[in-house]
Amino acid sequence: MSKILVLYYSSYGHVEIMARAQAEGAARIPGVQVSVKRVPELMSLEAATAAGYKLDQPAPIADPEELADYDAILFGTPTRFGNMASQMRNFLDRTGPLWARGALVGKIGSTFCCTASQHGGQETTLTSFHTTLLHHGMIVVGLPYTFKDLMTLREVTGGTPYGASSITGTGSEARMPSALELDMCRFQGEHVARIAAQFTAGGSHA
């Protein structure tokens, strides 16, 4: 059995919904055990409330040490100035002890994100995230073009070969992740879980 973790941060609920879709996709693979967890909030309750953050998120808070227990980890973050959110960065910066003993070497890592605007830095968020995964010796998996709607022009949508993404818009154009964006999350989750199951069947990394 392979164990998959969907680990996310979300201020306003977009990445939270994407994380659930990733988990749904991963659960399509027989024999896979999927968990959804989030990283801790760094803002004070007062500041987060004032900023309108979605505070009722049922996913439990992860501890950095537990990443070693999974065969594959799907990381989800909102984009902040073209990079991952500081809450996710801070969590990753607490994985030094895992790095020191090579605890994530040979595990699968994959990323997804959300931006406000179409060209607001999805690719930079995802590919810069990969750098950290590679330092950990993880095997980076993206979102292949066998998800045919990566090429679509029929609607405004997120979607990159580096990982699933969604666009929130703003004001009167604000939206939650679209059906298409959630489909691509499910596709990515299933893709990662299938690879993890193949790895588990073939023997774990030495």
Ligand X SMILES: Cc1cc2nc3c(=O)[nH]c(=O)nc-3n(C[C@H](O)[C@H](O)[C@H](O)COP(=O)(O)O)c2cc1C
Q: Which stretch binds ligand X (CB under 6 A): 56-64, 66-74, 109-117, 143-151?
A: 109-117
Question: Vertex 147, ends 145 and 149: CA angle to 5°?
Answer: 100
CB of 116 to ligand X, least distance (A): 4
- How would you class 203 by CB atoms within 10 Å of its CB: exposed for 0-12, middle for 13-18, buried for 19 or more? exposed
d(CA 123, CA 191): 19
Query: Does 13 contact ligand X by CB under 6 A?
Result: yes
Query: Does 116 contact ligand X by CB under 6 A?
Result: yes
Query: Does 117 contact ligand X by CB under 6 A?
Result: yes
CB of 171 to ligand X, least distance (A): 13
Residue 76 bridge partners (DSSP): 8, 112
**Would you call 74 helix, strand, or coil by DSSP?**
strand
Residue 80 bridge partners (DSSP): 83
Closest CB to ligand X among residues 14, 136: 14
Identify residues 41-80 at the interface with ligand X (CB under 6 A): 78-80
What residues line the site for ligand X (CB under 6 A)? 10-15, 78-82, 114-117, 120-121, 168
